[in-house]
Amino acid sequence: MPKRHWKTKDILLSITAFLIISIVKSAAVIGVLLTAVAYSVWLERKVSAHIQNRWGPTRVGPFGLLQPLADGVKFIFKEDLTQPHVYKPLYIAAPIIAVVFAISSIAVIPFGNWVNIGPWGTYLQITDLNIGLLVVLGITSMGVYGVALAGWSSNNKYALLGGLRASAQMVSYEVSLGLSLVGVVIMAGSLSLRDIVDAQGGVFWGFIPRWNIFHGQTLAFFIYMISAYAETNRTPFDLPEAESELVAGYHTEYSAMKFAMFFMAEYANMVTVACIATLLFLGGWHGPIFGPPLLQAIMPVIWFCLKVFFFMFLYVWVRWTLPRFRYDQLMAFGWKVLLPLAVANVVYTALVVAWRA
Amino acid sequence: MLHLILFLFFGLICVAGAINLLAQSHPINSALSLIVVMASLAALYLLLGAEFVAAVQVIVYAGAIMVLFVITIMLLNAGAEERTRGSRIATLIGVPGVVAGGTLVAWTLLRRPDRPAFAIGALKGGPSDIARLLFHDYLLPFEVTSVLILIAIMGAVVLASRPEAVARGPRKDGE
């Protein structure tokens, strides 16, 4: 049966092509993400040093640029302690869970538009899903387990308190975080991140971009940013690892590469949050495009990266500006201020959209 | 073909997780097995084409409800449970009951000659399809269910708060 034979071969070929393209894209994106994670640590150390009138890392390479590399080598060669009192299976699984969920949500993030490389073309995105935004929310909500299980399996009161605080805080702020995104979804009429960005093209009055932050979603943007800081356990919401009361919180008992995995998970989450803020509120890769053709081709990606960089810088800036909340303040703020504001924003956006329709 | 492999893979994980849930003696291991069951169910929904239901399954069940389970287990510091031999009535009635129920379901499904054969992924389950059903075709049942949930939330608040606190009204600062 030659016909059937050819058909199977064609299918196999297309599956192989699909697999190769996907693997190349995933490897490239993960490589970029991990580099970004390493250099956000460098950025944080450098910016915080300058805010405090210090120099920060200067010894390893020019401007201390090779510091992340040195840190990585140090983490690999340090002794990996496992205390005898921990519950071993979960103690080992917890950092893996944290880092896997932190990295995998990058799969649905689009970095730019369609590009042509010779005869082939592809979207600058690993995969475009109809429910892209929900996938990101789902994966981040699973990331809580890494922190909670680390706290519990360490069998240490500081770690347990840190893990409990982290899970309570992340579950609480996830509600207002999710609701703050609903306004954007209503305006775009889609949950696909690509459609949401496409809906933000164009300008008002010739110069103000039609980004959602200038288009009725300013309040939602601030609710999202505040909840996102709480979701990623960053100052002023870093109670799960408040060093003045909990030693180091949920990762007290971790050392060497296992600690580094929590560290990586935190920064990867920060990058994801910055990407989502860029896509949903700052128009993704939209921006003025000029120059020679080659530059025009990569301009959207440059705009996207610049916006993400702005959010990463903001994280550090906020960290060295604001003091930490008290725990009851944190919970009261989340449930009594942010949640009603987010609900009000949803109702307001829905009414405006229905009025215009 | 690929769909069948994925279905068998996630189906096996799901059943294995469910059996492990019963076999484990420590509550936190059982809770984690339940998370595995729910996540693999989400994968099965995704294979059917029910994208939105799959996402909600992960966000609500695997992400939120199970986190509350895990927090509760951590707060109570529940230890490993004691093994008993189980009640005799459960063995006498339960095992034949499960067998009878399974046979009934299998028999009903296999017996219907006109059972519609859906290709995996042929059912429409995107967000807009679900929204049309919820907010157009079944608007009244949907709203009634949300009122029911609201009543349940209010009941939970009343049960959880202490009676004297309810009588006094909201707590002031500094108390």
Q: What is the ipTM of this complex?
A: 0.77
Q: Specify the range with the lowest mean pLDDT, choosing from A12-16, A328-332, A337-341, A353-357.
A: A12-16
Q: Does position B110 have pLDDT exceeding 50, yes or no?
A: yes
The answer to whether A161 contacts chain B (CB < 8 Å) is no
Provide the pLDDT for residue A121.
Answer: 66
C-alpha distance from A292 to closest chain B C-alpha (Å): 41
Domain tally for chain A?
1
C-alpha distance from B158 to closest chain A C-alpha (Å): 18
Owning domain of residue A334: 78-356
Q: Does position A2 have pLDDT exceeding 60, yes or no?
A: no
**Is A69 contained in some domain?**
no
Integer angstrom CA distances of residue A288 from A107, A205, B132, B147: 27, 15, 38, 49
**Is A297 contained in some domain?**
yes
Residues in A closer than 8 angstroms to B71, CB to CB, are: 148, 164, 167-168, 171
Provide the pLDDT for residue A347.
Answer: 92
At A178, which helix (H) or strand (E)?
A: helix A157-188
**Is A25 contained in some domain?**
no
Closest CA to A348 of A223, A203, A228, A191: A223
Closest CA to A130 of A183, A181, A189, A71: A189
Task: Between B142 and A19, name the one with better pLDDT.
Answer: B142
Give A215-244 pLDDT, tens digit per residue: 778 888 999 999 988 888 887 887 777 777
- Band (pLDDT 50/70/90 cuts) for residue B116 is low
Question: Which A positions 196-255 lie with beta carbon below 8 A of chain B?
Answer: none
C-alpha distance from A143 to closest chain B C-alpha (Å): 8
Residues in A closer than 8 angstroms to B58, CB to CB, are: 138-139, 141-142
**Is A3 contained in some domain?**
no
**Is A337 contained in some domain?**
yes
The answer to whether A171 contacts chain B (CB < 8 Å) is yes
C-alpha distance from A161 to closest chain B C-alpha (Å): 9
Give the global pTM: 0.83
Provide the pLDDT for residue A3.
Answer: 47
Provide the pLDDT for residue B120.
Answer: 60
Closest CA to A123 of A272, A268, A282, A300: A300
Give A142-182 pLDDT, tens digit per residue: 888 888 888 888 888 888 888 888 888 888 888 888 888 88
Check B58 against A142: CB less than 8 A apart. Answer: yes
Q: What percent of chain B has pLDDT over 90?
A: 21
Give A282-319 pLDDT, tens digit per residue: 887 887 777 777 777 778 888 888 889 999 899 888 88
A145 near A157, Cβ under 8 Å?
no
